[in-house]
Structure 1
Amino acid sequence: MERLILNDLLKWKLSKHRKPLILKGVRQVGKTWLLKEFGKRYYENVAYFNLDEHEEYRQFFETTKDVDRILQNLILASAQKIQAENTLIIFDEIQDCPKVINSMKYFCENAPQYHVACAGSLLGIALSKPSSFPVGKVDFLQINPMSFTEFLMANGDKNLAQYLSSVDTPAPIPDAFFNPLYEKLKMYYVTGGMPEPVLMWTEDRDVEAVQIALSNIIGAYERDFAKHPEISEFPKISMIWRSIPSQLARENKKFIYKAVKEGARAREYEDALQWLVDANLVSKIYRCSAPGLPISAYDDLSSFKLYLVDIGLLRRLAHLAPTAFGEGNRLFTEFKGALSENYVLQALKNQFEVTPRYWSQVNPPYEVDFLIQRENDILPVEVKSESNTESHSLKKFKEKFGDETKLRIRFSLNNLKLDGDMLNIPLFMADYTDKLIGLALKSNRLYRTR
């Protein structure tokens, strides 16, 4: 299966400022496959070291900080070849190996000729410990679940993916493309973007195998909860994780601790919640009081929403059966459109450096699903999963912050359309949000200069 992040890995390889790479991503998102595939395509040789499978290799990093000695020991112990410029050295499963993480400092300073890439599950947890972090001495890449575009390519629909990438004006999509893309998106809501469930569908069209694969991934994550250093946090992490579908099923999707457990208080659960955030299993989206810069200065730290790392995992965790695929728009509208919001958030996080926020007010009640920062513009985003796309909250947002709002974005099942400062993006084009915003702003500028 093609992963677009391979382009970023190639840029890393060719950069004259290249440092050792740490590839972050949740368990079973495809980190090991990606690095091996990258090495196979762009290097003469790959030297792969799994620090979980071969725990004895860890000793080489504990007894010395000399890079040449470390590599010599690894070569002798594994019988693998390493040539500086032509070999990709992969250290896998390094999350429990602080000495290995720390050694990247010495690879950077004393042996920059080597191409070194590291990966591991729960690396976000390991890197949150200051003692193991080689500040300024590593490059980072984040691998996320497969996007809808990558799903299309894996599914044999490269023509549809190519069409989406070729759109160069904010005008309606022809039915010959719109209708099949709408149907393919429903299947993506079923599989999500984790490689194994996608493979089960694209190779065998086996929905039951998709279900089993998703259940196994969720089970693996839940076993990881026990790796929290404080064993008392384990049940709290599980309860937060299991509560997310019900949190998102409410009209107001703000996270409420009492929905985790009756009488629960923030201070009792904040460490458990932070563990899930550091592990990148959930995204924490803060309420923003106003569209100012920097956007973090306007965060309301007491109000936030939680979304899962992958839409397929959210569907499975919510026990929404794949049969909803054949029931019209049900997948899009189920539990207050939470699947669509989760899907859109995944797409936005792949395109924008700053984590999205959301905006709301209580009296009268209005809520804009996301605020995105694009360059120095803060833009409101609403996700609509039903045929009624009237955007009262976007209208209210413009009333309050009109001068700061160059464009309003609405995701829906309707066609691509630019109507003044309102850009309607079909849900299946979420991967191209940044490009479409650019086209819309350019179109509006040209209109104003006429």
Structure 2
Amino acid sequence: MLIEGARRVGKSTLARQFAATEYRSFIEIDFDHVDDEVKAMFRDYATDLDSLFLYLSTYFGVELYERETVFLFDEVQRFPFVRGLVKYLVADGRYDYIETGSLISIKQNVDDIVIPSEEESMRLNPLDFEEFLWAMDEEALARLLRENYEKGCSLPDALHKKASRLFREYVLVGGMPHPLQVYVNERNFSPVDREKRLILDLYRRDVARFAKGYEHKVISIFDQIPAQLSKHEKRFSITSLGKDARMRAYEEAFFWLGDAFIANLCYASNDPSVGLSLNLESSSVKCYLADTGLLTTMVLADSARTDESVYRAVLRGDIGLNEGMLMENVVAQSLVAQGRKLYFYSQSGKHRGHGRLEIDFLITEGYANAAGKPRLSPIEVKAARQYGTGSLDRLKEEYPKRVGLQYVISPNPYRREGDRCYLPLYMAHLIAS
């Protein structure tokens, strides 16, 4: 099993806890820090597994038990050779193997190896709002949200306000495990802000360390994410990086941020229909940060530290912050956590008097009024309580046979009107769950 995910998202901790709970013994090898002698063992005894296991057991002082021991290969991208060796380790059959890593697909991490077909991959994302509620000892509220979503019911007013407040806390804190743990323990935002800044600094160091040859392009995109998302049209304007900048020159940098799970990339689909990837327009992309809490810190990082009072003011809605970018980012994060790829749709007015048509996200799902056959489900995110739905109306009008259930996500309570589902922001994580 390969667990992929961003740095500091909890891959190693999760694998370690699973190994300690489910196996009689385990050996953890962090290839970012392990001695060269251990790497040499894998190279020297790749065809003599009896000796390899004996030496590893002795080196780490861990007894091995057939079918009851698991090896944890942490940061496996730092030693591609062992990833290629997994094919033979699995075929040997004595032990199990869990790999963790990021930047799995970039060229320097796959050179000279054959990716084993035995390797099953899963992605570990930042915690979503439901998991945030679990961490905050609000399991009952988390269950109620899911039950009411499935039943199509709104919450009583008092619980709606409570869920809305907790959701705003989640937007400020985010879903990275360590900052969230700090918030659970202290219930203050300043120490959380410090932890998130450390993660952002780590990401910048990783760019310098691993994006050799185009690190300045990656950093330029990364630092521009808040400014690009603050625009009405959140598509990344490549000319913001320089008047002569062209998307083809930056494609590798966007891929790097996506492969590192630092960013969630959302591409335009130029024909809104089932099979969104068939009409993907790679030159038109929105770049969301993978964790909204980290985005909040970037937005508020006007000085070396962000005061607690600033976070409290944002929590109360007393500061004129562009909340639209944060809410759209958190919905993108929720969709990715459900295993969705991100697509949006945009067109200029086809007829006189029509403005631009902008749909924040497009997904496909079964549609009850078409015998469960897949249809397009557009999603619009609204940060304000008062809003218009002109783009959704026009999309349904222009493509009546393609569009199924439509979602409007806003601060308002749940309601359903025909094929349009009005969801509170705190239920966004339940779409297509």
Structure 1 and Structure 2 fold alike (TM over 0.5): yes
Maintained 8 Å contact 2:86/2:116: no
SS of the equivalent of 1:145 reads: coil
Maintained 8 Å contact 2:77/2:109: no
Partner of residue 19, structure 2: 39
For these two proteins, the number of residue pairs brought into alignment is 412
Give the residue type in structure 2 aligned to 1:289: N
Between the aligned partners of 1:100 and 1:203, the Cα distance in structure 2 is: 39
Maintained 8 Å contact 1:125/1:279: no
Unaligned runs of 5+ in 2: 350-354, 367-373
1:27-78 deviation per Cα after TM superposition (whole angstroms, max 9, x unaligned): 1000111011112222222222222222331112222323433322211211
Partner of residue 12, structure 1: none
- Is 1:343 aligned to residue 323 of structure 2? no
TM-score when normalising by structure 1: 0.86
- Is 1:212 aligned to residue 227 of structure 2? no
Unaligned runs of 5+ in 1: 1-20, 436-450
Give 1:186 deviation, angstroms.
Answer: 0.8
The match for 1:157 among 104, 117, 138 is: 138
- Is 1:76 aligned to residue 55 of structure 2? no
Give the residue type in structure 1 aligned to 2:41: F
Between the aligned partners of 1:158 and 1:331, the Cα distance in structure 2 is: 29
Give 1:149 deviation, angstroms.
Answer: 1.0
The structure-2 alpha-carbon separation of the partners of 1:273 and 1:327, relative to structure 1 and needing over 3 Å to count, comes to closer
The structure-2 alpha-carbon separation of the partners of 1:48 and 1:393, relative to structure 1 and needing over 3 Å to count, comes to same
323-332 or 141-150, which moves further after superposition?
323-332
Pairing 1:242-261 to 2, within 5 Å after superposition: 242-261=223-242
Pairing 1:281-300 to 2, within 5 Å after superposition: 281-300=262-281
The structure-2 alpha-carbon separation of the partners of 1:35 and 1:370, relative to structure 1 and needing over 3 Å to count, comes to same
Give the residue type in structure 1 aligned to 2:360: D
Pairing 1:5-404 to 2, within 5 Å after superposition: 21-55=1-35, 56-66=37-47, 67-108=49-90, 110-125=91-106, 129=110, 131-167=112-148, 168-228=150-210, 230-231=212-213, 233-319=214-300, 323-327=310-314, 330=317, 334-335=321-322, 337-352=324-339, 354-363=340-349, 364-374=355-365, 376-404=374-402
Between the aligned partners of 2:268 and 2:391, the Cα distance in structure 1 is: 15
Give the residue type in structure 1 aligned to 2:357: Y
Maintained 8 Å contact 1:30/1:195: yes
Give the residue type in structure 2 aligned to 1:235: H
Between the aligned partners of 2:122 and 2:93, the Cα distance in structure 1 is: 18
1:355-381 deviation per Cα after TM superposition (whole angstroms, max 9, x unaligned): 020011123311000001236332100
Between the aligned partners of 1:270 and 1:150, the Cα distance in structure 2 is: 33
Between the aligned partners of 1:32 and 1:135, the Cα distance in structure 2 is: 21
SS of the equivalent of 1:141 reads: strand
Higher helix share: 1
Maintained 8 Å contact 2:344/2:361: yes
**Aligned-CA RMSD value:** 2.1
Partner of residue 412, structure 2: 414
Give the residue type in structure 1 aligned to 2:204: E
The structure-2 alpha-carbon separation of the partners of 1:256 and 1:329, relative to structure 1 and needing over 3 Å to count, comes to farther
